[in-house]
Amino acid sequence: MDKMIGVIGGSGVYEIDGLEQAEWTEVETPFGAPSDQILTGVLNGTRMAFLPRHGRGHVHTPSTVPYRANIFAMKVLGVTDLVAVSAVGSLKEAYAPGDFVIIDQYIDRTFAREKTFFGPGLVGHVPFAHPICPVLAEACAQAARMTGVTVHQGGTYVAMEGPQFSTLAESRLYRSWGADVIGMTGMPEAKLAREAELCYACVAMVTDYDCWHPGHDAVDVAQVVAVAVKNAGKARSLVASLPELLAGPKTDCTAGCGHALDSAIMTAPAKYDAEMVAKLKPIMGRVL
């Protein structure tokens, strides 16, 4: 099987460049429609699929992004390697606006979202100690360095519910936890990508210092958008380098992303809910 690279673009990243045979495709899923149509095409010989997380024109809030539909759609289109691009606030002096952070850990503080494909009659628990595919993350780090931006390899992302930005007390609390950046969309995207056995990595573009930094005004949308728009070109060049860095057929990921479901399902086969199985077969057919 050949690799197919999926990209979920965040705030400020609503398109990618240079796709041949580019086509916006409508994909329906048992979890409803994804955030938007998905742009498919070929870049330097590699099949690509691009989805703007908030939809073109930014119509979904972080809480209403249809995360399950998005991941389901990417998987059924044949995506093997999924790169998320996200705007984030910095919780550390050293992670400055304009820098890119290749995320390796998350703290999930979201509470108003569906976080799993599983449900009654089909219960599963995937391993998630290491939420990011290290192989894909390394390719993203290389691609990011090629754009000339400052790249931090590794960072803990606090996913908050939003859509309001944090209070000062919350921002200080997250800093005391040792977290590096904060955003509103990293979860449950990464959890669902793991359940779908995708290799998943996240390139976070720092847009602000949130509200804890004494030398900076509290964050507002104008600041985030100004930096995100300035960085969108770099994010698009990063994506354009991925095909050459990831070239070749898809082999079993050494980190085991493609086998996350091997021992995840708890429900006894005799008790499987037939509707749930039919619903999830397109993305979990390997084990169902």
Ligand X SMILES: CSC[C@H]1O[C@H](OP(=O)(O)O)[C@H](O)[C@@H]1O
Ligand Y SMILES: Nc1ncnc2[nH]cnc12
Q: Facing residues of 182 across strands?
A: 89, 158
**Residues from 45 through 104 that contact ligand Y (CB under 6 A):** 87-89
CB 31 within 8 A of CB 65: no
CB 159 within 8 A of CB 107: yes
* Residue 10 touches which of ligand Y, ligand X, none (Cβ within 5-8 Å per kind): ligand X
* Residue 89 touches which of ligand Y, ligand X, none (Cβ within 5-8 Å per kind): ligand Y
Catalytic residue among 99, 108, 180, 210: 210
CB 206 within 8 A of CB 90: yes
Q: Residue 185 or 237: which CB sits closer to ligand X? A: 185
# residues contacting ligand X (CB under 6 A):
13
Q: Facing residues of 107 across strands?
A: 158
Active site residue 208: yes
What is the b/e burial string over 7-26, where b = at least 16 CB atoms within 10 angstroms of the residue's CB? bbbbbbbbebeebeebeeee
Active site residue 262: no
| Among the listed residues 67, 100, 157, 165, the single contact to ligand Y using CB under 6 A | 165
| Among the listed residues 157, 210, 234, 253, the single contact to ligand Y using CB under 6 A | 210
Contacts of 256 (CB under 8 A, 6+ apart): none
Q: Residue 55 or 89: which CB sits closer to ligand Y? A: 89
Residues taking part in catalysis? 208, 210
Catalog residues that contact ligand Y under the rule CB under 6 A. 87-89, 160, 165, 182-184, 207-208, 210, 219, 224
